[in-house]
Amino acid sequence: GRDSGELQRLAPIQSFQGPAEDSEAMMQAQKKDGLNINQVLILRDEETQNPLDLDQLEPSNDGTRRQEAVLVRKDESEVIIELASSRMLSQAGDWIGTTYIFRNITQHREIARILAHQANHDPLTELINRNRFKVFLEDAIQSARTGNGTHAFAYIDLDQFKVVNDTSGHSAGDQLLRQIAQIMRKRMQPGDVLARLGGDEFGLLLHDSGLEATMNCLNEIKDAVLEFRFVWEDKIFTVGCSIGVVFIDEFAENEAQILRDADTACYAAKELGRQRIHIFHPDDEALTRRRAEMEWVNQVQESLEAGDFELYCQPIKDLQNGPGRQCEILVRMKSGPNLVAPGMFVPAVERFGLMARLDRFIVGRFFQALNSFVEEKGRSVLEQFNFFTVNLSGATVGDESFREFLLESIRESKIDPDKFCFEITETAAVANMASAMKFIAAVKSLGAHFALDDFGSGLSSFAYLKTLPVDILKIDGIFVRDICDDPVDLAMIRSIRELGQALNIKVIGEYVETREVMEKLTEMGVEYGQGYYISRPMPFRDYLLSVADGGE
């Protein structure tokens, strides 16, 4: 090939005749009197740059040797070569010379260098990436453990970055990140390490930095970012940053824990008003809450991957007609031998934007359970039900990909769409009015129904109800549980019931925990009741099987 050459050196010959010409790394030997082989081939050690001669590159006892070196060309340019040497033996097995094969690996080495750079650097900002940063962080931890100073790690998250992305597009966001990276770079000290950890998050490792020096550096960065004006086309943006700090001392655990603690502290900085620095303390109340939420989020993500959720349901009683069945679909997360109710993990899931993923899983599992039951037991059992209600979050209702997934699930279901009712809370509907309207219209176009949960909790509940084409109102339980003793709650429920009648909307009273409450709702004409007095939640499949067996 053009990147290799072969040279034979016979044992008796002590000089090599002719220059070795390099044409695109091909070595061709031609005889010429008077030149020693090492005068023709000028080689250097790649690391030390010391001269090498072929005597140093003789094959080992097994007859071969391979080494990389620098070859100096006639024009004094340099290339990296791989040199392989092997002994030439006579028919009798005696050594009669050496064959050297050279291969130009300069281009390969450059490609490897580029690939290594790409593997360790963020292509957008040219800062090191998260994986490479972890190595520096681990080195800092080891340094602190051996008593070589205290270091500081800062987790820096931009404020208002999403505004730039949403209003001007990702190109603007990319340019902003490049400029912010430069602002931070200019305020680093020699030995400090800056990385882009992902999205609009940066990590800064300050070596041998105490509290005062750390705060001075980070305040300078924070103020510089806030003072910066990002100009894109005809718009001017102001961004800021929230910073979480962890000091790395002899008690530091590992890089994963340091990253989690700094992320937690950064979250606390945002919660406390943004554009501030928060130092991690293990007993900090805000950080403790954040850590607990992170643990729930991690467990939910693992459970979603493993499918470790179980469908539950709570039967809903028809207070006026008696016959007919209906229930609300619930979920429990498996945690070892225990089952965890949604109230424990949903707040954290909502805060971290995972509700759409969780809702998609639950809805998928629900349709799967129904279709499997039909195949196993037939349709007759499910035909006894008036409806199944399924909770969705406000974020999910606005997710177009979820909407398409849900509509496709309804179309492919073995059950009449009239049996399905999807619900979101009143506050979520108001906060996402446009997407809620679009979602309701799409669901109802297939024959399914829609319900508003926790109705009455908003200040303008009655005002906007005419614009939302819902089929069912679920009265907020705070009005239901005390109706036998509180005339205001009683009046509120009576008003909701009358409004439902006028708009042809069914009403469900939640939190029915006593016989007296159930009887009062029945007396007032409320169509349905739901609560522990009527039935506690139970596994969904068990409930379907009990109905199939003729149970209540």
User: Comparing 43-47, 255-259, 369-373, which segment has the lowest mean pLDDT?
Assistant: 43-47
Q: Which residues face 78 on adjacent strands? A: 72
What does the alpha-carbon distance between residue 32 and residue 12 come to, in Å, rounded to a whole number?
A: 17
For residue 336, the model assigns a pLDDT of 87
Residue 289 forms part of a structural domain:
no
At residue 267, does pLDDT exceed 90?
no
Do 53 and 137 fall into the same domain?
no
Q: Are 55 and 100 in contact (CB under 8 A)?
A: no
State which residues form the domain around 170: 122-282
Residue 465 forms part of a structural domain:
yes
Number of domains in the chain: 3
Q: Mean pLDDT across the stretch 365-371?
A: 96
User: Comparing 341-345, 403-407, 462-466, 475-479, which segment has the lowest mean pLDDT?
Assistant: 462-466
Do 138 and 95 fall into the same domain?
no
Q: Position of tokens 């139970």?
A: 538
Do 312 and 236 fall into the same domain?
no
For residue 108, the model assigns a pLDDT of 79
Length of the chain: 552
Do 90 and 142 fall into the same domain?
no
Residue 552 forms part of a structural domain:
no
Tens of pLDDT along 69-104? 888 877 778 888 887 777 777 777 777 777 777 788
Residue 394 forms part of a structural domain:
yes
What does the alpha-carbon distance between residue 378 and residue 394 come to, in Å, rounded to a whole number?
A: 34
Do 443 and 504 fall into the same domain?
yes
Based on the number of CB atoms within 10 Å of its own CB, is 195 exposed (0-12), middle (13-18) or buried (19 or more)? buried
- Measured over the CA atoms of residue 239, residue 197, residue 347 and residue 314, the dihedral's sign is positive
Residue 79's identity, in one-letter code, is: V
At residue 27, does pLDDT exceed 70?
no
Beta-strand pair 277-279/240-248: parallel
pLDDT cut 90: percent of the chain above it: 47
DSSP for 340-406 reads: E-HHHHHHHHHHTT-HHHHHHHHHHHHHHHHHHHHHHH-STTGGGEEEEEEE--HHHHT-HHHHHHH
User: Comparing 18-27, 379-388, 445-454, which segment has the lowest mean pLDDT?
Assistant: 18-27
Q: Position of tokens 């399914």?
A: 448
Residue 117 forms part of a structural domain:
no
Do 304 and 442 fall into the same domain?
yes
CATH number of the domain enclosing 408: 3.20.20.450
Residue 391 forms part of a structural domain:
yes
Do 76 and 203 fall into the same domain?
no
At residue 157, does pLDDT exceed 90?
yes
Between helix 342-351 and helix 355-377 the angle, nearest 10°, is 130
Tens of pLDDT along 390-425? 999 988 988 889 999 999 999 999 899 999 999 998
Residue 291 forms part of a structural domain:
no
Q: Is 20 helix (H, G, I), strand (E, B) or coil?
A: strand
Domain boundary among 282, 304, 334: 282
Q: Which residues face 335 on adjacent strands? A: 338
Tens of pLDDT along 196-212? 998 999 999 999 998 99
What does the alpha-carbon distance between residue 255 and residue 193 come to, in Å, rounded to a whole number?
A: 15
Do 357 and 506 fall into the same domain?
yes
Do 155 and 27 fall into the same domain?
no
**At 158, is the pLDDT very low, low, confident or very high (cuts 50, 70, 90)?**
very high
Q: Are 399 and 427 in contact (CB under 8 A)?
A: no
Q: Which two tokens stand for residue 371?
A: 């279709």
Q: Which two tokens stand for residue 97?
A: 């010379």
Long-range contacts (CB closer than 8 Å, 24 or more residues apart) made by 489-495? 490/520, 492/456, 493/521, 493/524, 493/526, 494/524, 495/462
Residue 81 forms part of a structural domain:
yes
